[in-house]
Amino acid sequence: MADDLHVAAAAARRLATTVSTIRALRAEGATRPADWLSDDLDSDSARGFFLDVAAIEAVEEELRRTRTAPARLGDVVAPAAHEATVEMVLALNRERLGLGNPLGRKPIVRWPDIEEVLVEIDLESSRARFNRQQAVASNRDDAESAAPQYVTRDQIAAMVGRSKDKVMDWFNDDADSPEPAVEGGGGKAYQYIWSEVRPWLEAKSGRKLPIRFPSLLSPT
């Protein structure tokens, strides 16, 4: 199933290529552009246009965040290239129907190059998808860093570079040693929460230990 970024990119490409095709046909003398650009808002083609616009609007904030400056494509300026394709359609319709431009907008003299528009659309879509992946990875890292890590005495010994017997002596001889989070005995290992046992181990071993227990030494 296509995601919303893919749907938005496909919609923007469709709008851009349709405008480019219609302008090329008009340059060759064609008098009737594609029906979906007509003012018949009840037609299936007009509904398709509004669906494309809705697909772009659904992710417009993400697309805008991929840019450090507005998209400038020919005389068309918009927050993102995806949105510029909507402006291209509206400008073509105004031109075709002989309508004036909205206040503050100039007529398009230099139309965007279709290849440049398509490249910008793909770049925005790729960057937005990358930003999503980074956000997911960051959330996962936050969740992992918040979860308690359980370590055994064997793992503790390996971390501080001492024998297991020496580490057991530390625990047995110190009345203030951390209590195990999971009791051992009968072949079952004692387990301690790393964040609780680490400060005590630093004092015992004289070593600065990592806040998070390294994954290669963490329990499976």
Residues 124 and 15 in one domain: yes
User: Once rounded to an integer, what is the mean pLDDT over residues 69-84?
Assistant: 95
Last residue of some domain: 144, 173, 192? Answer: 144
For residues 136 and 167, membership in a common domain is answered with: no
Q: Which of 2-6, 38-42, 45-49, 144-148 has the lowest mean pLDDT?
A: 38-42
In a shared domain, residues 126 and 200: no
pLDDT per residue over 60-72, tens digit each? 999 999 999 999 9
Share of the chain above pLDDT 90, in %: 49
Q: Judge whether residue 121 has pLDDT over 60.
A: yes
Residue 151 has pLDDT above 60, yes or no: yes
Question: 1-5 long-range CB contacts below 8 Å, 24 or more apart?
Answer: 4/55, 4/58, 4/59, 5/59, 5/62, 5/125, 5/128, 5/129, 5/132
Question: What is the average per-residue pLDDT within 134-140?
Answer: 76
Mean pLDDT of 36-58: 71
Residue 183 has pLDDT above 50, yes or no: yes
3 state DSSP class of 73: strand
Q: Are residues 94 and 169 in the same domain?
A: no
pLDDT of residue 25: 83
Q: Would you say residue 214 lies in a domain?
A: no
- What pLDDT does residue 126 have? 94
Q: Are residues 19 and 74 in the same domain?
A: yes
Of the three residues 144, 174, 197, the one that is the final residue of a domain is 144
Residues 113, 63: one domain? yes
Under 8 Å CB-to-CB from 25, ≥6 apart: which residues?
A: 33
Q: Do 97 and 14 lie in a common domain?
A: yes
Q: Which CATH number is 172's domain given?
A: 1.10.1660
d(CA 36, CA 14): 12
Domain membership flag for residue 217: no
Structure confidence at residue 38 (pLDDT): 46
The count of structural domains within the chain is 2
Q: In this structure, are 124 and 37 located in the same domain?
A: yes
Phi, psi values for residue 34, rounded to 5°:
-60, 145
Q: What is the pLDDT of residue 72?
A: 96
* pLDDT score of 61: 95
pLDDT for 11 beyond 70: yes
- 31 lies in the same domain as 128: yes
If asked whether residues 116 and 194 sit together in one domain, one would say no
Q: Please give the pLDDT value at position 125.
A: 95
pLDDT at 28: 74
Q: Which of 101-110, 131-140, 173-182 has the highest average model confidence (pLDDT)? A: 173-182
C-beta separation of 53 from 59 below 8 A: no
* Segment of 31-40, 64-73, 99-108 carrying the highest mean pLDDT: 64-73
Is residue 92 a contact partner of residue 20, using CB atoms and an 8 Å limit?
Answer: no
Predicted structure pTM score: 0.59
Say if 175 falls within a structural domain.
yes
Residues 77 and 16 in one domain: yes
Identify the domain boundary among 144, 164, 184: 144
| Residue 97: domain span | 4-144
Judge whether residue 200 has pLDDT over 50: yes
pLDDT at position 74 = 94
Residues 54 and 111 in one domain: yes
The DSSP bridge partners found for residue 192 are 151
Mean pLDDT of the chain: 84
